[in-house]
């Protein structure tokens, strides 16, 4: 490893001091650093800077300082490059940014010594098809959500799996989630928790009009197609950060992406320890 990328949530109160500490440590180890352009505004000295889209191709490791939203954004930028991400939590809950600030430098020392675990997580590839033509395509680490706007009625969706009609939903929306995203919006809507390294997809309806429509877990290799059946104000959102307005008969096609995201973690900080810490499992 020779170059480390640094991305920080710009409005994180402690980001400026953490970046200075990190740059000093990397310099002492003889390692180069490249800062994301907005992050560079928080540093007094900038060794090198790059845009969010270009940064992953210039480094061997990405350190993400912030919350899960910051890491989700960088995961989409990494795409199929395979650059490992170390998430350091400067925010709230922090399922993905599970490394604490006190653990940051010990984690980097352990990574250099080959003592950290790299966990691979599946991504979803989602595209919107209109009149038979794709109009956009995005990757999602957490989920793709199809939901009504604030003033819209219950929406009507038709779902096919591998080309076969599966079901129809009349609901406030539908969450299509990875195992990583199973502890995010899907969990709040009553979906199951999946072990994050599984190859699977969860369909979780949001406030379904039919009480028998329950969340379902599908194999990760299945191709899912969700078609909007009525002329309503409906959005498809990717990881809660990118939104696309849908029209009647638009189809959102979702499949497992060819690339995977690699997250760096301590070997002893497994998924169950994160659940115990973040969700207070076993405490009552």
Of 91, 235, 238, give the one whose Cα is nearest residue 157. 235
As a whole number of angstroms, the distance between CA 84 and CA 59 comes to 10
Question: Pairing state of beta strands 32-36 and 3-8?
Answer: parallel
Is 172 part of the annotated catalytic residue set? no
3-state secondary structure of 284: coil
CB < 8 Å & 24+ apart, contacts of 9-13 = 9/65, 9/66, 9/67, 9/69, 9/70, 9/90, 9/91, 10/38, 10/39, 10/41, 10/42, 12/65, 12/66, 12/90, 12/91, 13/90
Looking at 11, 41, 68, 222, which residue is catalytic?
68
3-state secondary structure of 83: coil
Q: Which residues are catalytic?
A: 68
């Amino acid at each position: 490893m020779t170059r480390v990328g640094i991305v920080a949530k710009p409005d994180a109160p402690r980001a400026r001091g953490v970046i200075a500490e990190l740059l000093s440590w990397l310099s002492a180890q003889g390692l180069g650093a490249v800062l994301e352009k907005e992050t560079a505004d928080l540093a007094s000295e900038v060794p090198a800077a790059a845009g969010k889209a270009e940064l992953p191709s210039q480094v061997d490791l990405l350190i993400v300082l912030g919350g899960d939203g910051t890491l989700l954004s960088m995961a989409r930028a990494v795409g199929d490059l395979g650059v490992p991400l170390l998430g350091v939590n400067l925010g709230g809950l922090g399922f993905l940014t599970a490394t604490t600030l006190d653990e940051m430098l010990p984690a980097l020392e352990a990574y250099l010594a080959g003592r950290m675990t790299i966990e691979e997580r599946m991504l979803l590839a989602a595209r919107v098809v209109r009149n038979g033509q794709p109009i956009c395509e995005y990757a999602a680490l957490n989920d793709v959500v199809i939901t009504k706007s604030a003033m819209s009625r219950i929406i009507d969706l038709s779902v096919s799996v591998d080309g076969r009609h599966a079901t129809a939903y009349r609901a406030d929306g539908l969450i299509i989630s990875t195992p990583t995203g199973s502890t995010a919006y899907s969990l709040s809507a009553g979906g199951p928790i999946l072990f994050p390294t599984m190859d699977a997809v969860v369909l979780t309806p949001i406030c379904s009009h039919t009480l028998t429509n329950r969340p379902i877990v599908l194999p990760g290799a299945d191709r899912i197609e969700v078609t909007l059946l009525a002329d309503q104000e409906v959005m498809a959102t990717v990881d809660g950060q990118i939104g696309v307005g849908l029209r009647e008969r638009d189809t959102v096609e979702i499949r497992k992406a060819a690339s995977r995201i690699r997250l760096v973690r301590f070997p002893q900080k497994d998924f169950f320890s994160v659940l115990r810490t973040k969700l207070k499992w076993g405490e009552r």
